[in-house]
Amino acid sequence: MQSQTHTFLINGSPMPCLQVGSGEPLLLIHGALANHTLWLEHIEPLSHHYCVYAPTLRHFGEAGKEGPFGLDTHAGDLLALLAQLAVGPVHLVGWSYGADVALTAALQAPECVQSLYLVEPGCPGALDEQGLAAFMADAGAMFGPVFGQVGAGLLQEAVATLIDGSGGRPGYFAAQPLKWQQAQLAEAGSLPKQMSQSERPDWSPARLATLKLPTCIVQGADTRPLFALASEALGRAIPACERLLVPHAGHLYPIEQPALFVQHLRRWLPHGDSLPPATAL
């Protein structure tokens, strides 16, 4: 199927959004150091069953660079996009920072969402004191060097360090296919904004308990502690929540194994394939 990319004016800022397919609306939200082209390998098979939308968030790719960088801003942009699309409630899928944005938007306007599929969210808002301490220890190990490099203006080095941290081992960035290295480096300018963001939406267990949407939280079995801790806490706090563990996968599994990602997503979504069940948590 042929895709089309339209640019919408969202809260005063241009937002490119790829659209392809027909059926119920499915919206894919990319993570940090990415844009909507992250999803190109996923969209083709999904478009045979859904009308797929893939926007680029503010401050990434060809989207506008105006205004603040943060979860409330990005969630507000996403809801404004849905209002312009006027497609009714969507199946909302987000990965990493995109999962944080998707959850924030769903909490703000649950009537706009049919279902919520969160792949390795990273926001610690649902953690208790002990969990938060463990989260912060691993976040310090992962992001501490990135903050230092960003502060020194070494943005390309910071991209490599962040991807090594997300991938769970030194040298992960350089071992990737060249197309992913180039795509991540092209987003280097977003890192200072990401590192200095200050928006903190309410992800308390009390507020998460109000979310009645069908929700699935996906976690790689080999992911690093901060993502595991955040995923586990959200799984406990959201009432209608399933959790799936992907064997032999880490935080970057959506780009490592796009076909498997699509299989898991289609299995869980309404009218999904009759595939063997994923490992449940």
In the chain, DSSP finds a helix count (H) and a strand count (E) of 12, 9
- Both structure tokens of 163: 């991807």
Please tell me the distance from the alpha carbon of residue 272 to that of residue 266, in angstroms, as a whole number.
5
The answer, as to whether pTM is greater than 0.85, is yes
**Is the CATH number 1.10.10.10 carried by domain 4-130+201-280?**
no
Q: In the chain, where are the structural domains located?
A: 4-130+201-280, 140-194
The neighbour count for residue 206, using CB atoms within 10 Å, is: 8
Contact between 195 and 147 (Cβ < 8 Å): yes
Please report, in tens digits, the pLDDT of each residue of the chain (281 residues total).
667 899 999 999 999 999 999 999 999 999 999 999 999 999 999 999 999 999 999 999 999 999 999 999 999 999 999 999 999 999 999 999 999 999 999 999 999 999 999 999 999 999 999 999 999 999 999 999 999 999 999 999 999 999 999 999 999 999 999 999 999 999 999 999 999 999 999 999 999 999 999 999 999 999 999 999 999 999 999 998 999 999 999 999 999 999 999 999 999 997 555 444 445 55
User: What is the signed CA dihedral for 94, 201, 223, 79, rounded to 10 degrees?
Assistant: 0
What is the torsional sign of CA 33, 97, 231, 218? negative
